[in-house]
A and B are shown apart, each in its own frame.
Chain A
């Protein structure tokens, strides 16, 4: 190898330094924010394996600072040595978990079904309900987003009491459907607007009815949008606390209500609270990692026209 003949000019070298500082700065900020986002999750996960001294000494890294113990999970009945034995806490937890699952899934499915149909109709036909035209009907649906839950909460409390729907799963399901419906319509309207009407025209010429065309031609194309709307509704309904706290008590209580009711009573036994919290957020972490694409698609739907 001979000596280098061509050298970078002085100006280019300074450019390279500038580029490198820019890179370091960008990645520094990105990593800092990633830590801010992920540390609470890490903290909860590790705390659920701690014991009292570890908590008080502020040990952070498992296996290095302290040896993980199953204490927190044992109190939940989910540690290896208790999982096959009877545990009232675990039963309670699983019941709440099941309630949350059923409520969230049913409400999201109902909202997507109602919302997709409405969004499709609004993007394809012109309606007149009294003085209301298409844009008014759309606005009517979307304006429900503004309605704060408090306004409905107390009237519904009284109504559900009269209807015998307090502390049932149906009650929250209907309310959650209402709260996510505007979001679903928002996303789906965007989705259907991007599908050319020629497709249905061809299907109608070939003899399908309008519902047949919707169900067999348009829906499969709009499926990614529907999945996005479904996942987004699922996240919102799974996390819902306010209505659940007011309208459910013993039977239909959902997981967030259980977590909230435990926070006050546990004092410093952080390991069991951490285990409970972590178990409550785990499904959504999994959904977030696996289906991130759909969530982003759903939230971006309204942004770009």
Chain B
């Protein structure tokens, strides 16, 4: 068992979320909005999708040393072992039996031909791909889907037995939709996994690595960038923002000075400088960073940190403005006249009334952070080039799109996964906000 820095932070975060949800469930006035979330179809479906992403991410966050090779690998690597080993020579399209570029092929009888060679693993079991491929894919897909459905049914049966006969009430439409989504995801995913024994379902990249595997690995990077950066940013933004708005005077002046200064330094420059610093540090202390993975992880963590430090100003400014508004509300004055101390007013009256802004901007930032990672990877100051990330995949697409014919699948795969993740997060946050905003709650 090897615990990387980001692993530790991610599991702490998961624990914190679990504990806070557990605590909220015990209070009646939190239970109501939570119940409202579970009643909305959209939110339940997007929650299921998010949880599936999170599940893959978490699976990829449990690292251990492989006893055979001595490399640090994650549970996901273990599960997807065939994918890691079945590497081709270079690009190949999804479900293709041939390489994407022509090579000199030497036949058994010594003839030479300039043509597309067969893949080493993709569709290698077929004798005549031109005729057999599609029937084979269809039959294998059907078998995979059937097995997936069986698996999903089995899981459902277990779930049903646990949930048991104690509650005979019929499912609400939202739970039905959620279960259906889970059902679909499990079946589909199983089918893809099944197919990938024989085919590269999303093709291979420049060095012949399976793109399906890459996108799965990228989920963790995306989640880490999205969540940990926010974790770094929130204390700064919330603390400074509401303090500046509430106390005003010199506190406000100092905080405004800090964020105006920080804002006037180009963020990219700051990020580049600190990433270079980390690189130099790692080069000088090779004994602390035993493997490539640990180095990449350190760089990822540092990227989150520095992105957090440079991106808190926007939210801070918004929170300051909102606090200025809220502090003039009569309930704050009422609290003051009741003799409530100022820190208590800040925490009990101001903070909950600006929380919706935090929630909204966190979700919006989540997507922009994933994109920022791509941009930074482009100028080589993002995540480590060895780290799988959608950013690196999109970055690679720069050259792939310039080829003729176009290599479209790595970009499409990254786009599809990123899009699904961000959309689900946005939709889920939308219902969360509606549920927790009492003024909206009136309208149902």
Partners in one complex: no
